Amino acid sequence: MRLSRKGGWLMKKGCILLLLMGVISLPIIAQNIIYSNLKELLAQDGDTIAVLRIEKRSRNQIVLTGGADYRITVGNDESMGRRLKKRSFAVRDEKGDLYLNCRKLRYKRLRFGAWYAPAVQLDKKIYFCAMPLGSVVGGNFVEEDDVKLGGNIGDVLAASSLVTKRVCYELNAETGKIEFLDKDKMLELLKKHPELKQAYLKDDSPEAKHTFKYLLELRDKQK
């Protein structure tokens, strides 16, 4: 009788342990998250939202209105829509991809424009893709023998030729300063990963279509 009771107690205990292990091993449900500022993003302490629509803007849309590559909306919630457009700092979707709101970002006092840019967080630095501005243009996209046009018409033509060009920038969370992610900075990031470093040197291009993929690789290795 005692053995029977003892066996029943052990079986109950085993069932409880199995249930606890099952709860612990449940996968974390992915969520859409909105961050109001840089501090919230670093602390991973944002507001969750059920629906987040991420739309890649067309070349024509960018040419006509400028700004970054992605339009992010939440459907019919006008209040949340205004927050996303004007007050949010960044959003993270269910897949874990990060997008930075460019509306208030500046590079040497130059504006990136509205809308969202794809981004990667590595420790306390945020890297994002945006149109080349200021000295980045002259240092990377203007050749000495290029025909240079003056006046407003020349400025418009120069801007339109760069409208789909993208480079990567570094936002230092400690200083709030934004800098161009140049070759030296990129090599410093890749110094512990020689295989990625060699592949990057073969690409040898400042454009984000080459550099951003290495930032994604570093993000995945950081997890």
**Every domain of the chain and the residues it spans:** 29-182
Rounded mean pLDDT, 86-111: 93
3-class SS of residue 81: helix
Rounded distance, CA 168 to CA 126, Å?
10
pTM: 0.78
Give the rounded percent of residues in the chain with a pLDDT score beyond 70.
Answer: 76
Residue type, 12: K
Nearby residues of 19 by Cβ (< 8 Å), 6 or more positions away: none
Rounded distance, CA 13 to CA 94, Å?
37
Torsion over CA: 97, 98, 103, 105 (sign) = negative
Query: What are φ and ψ of residue 186, in 5° steps?
Result: -65, -40
Q: Is residue 1 over pLDDT 90?
A: no
Of 191 and 10, the one with more pLDDT: 191
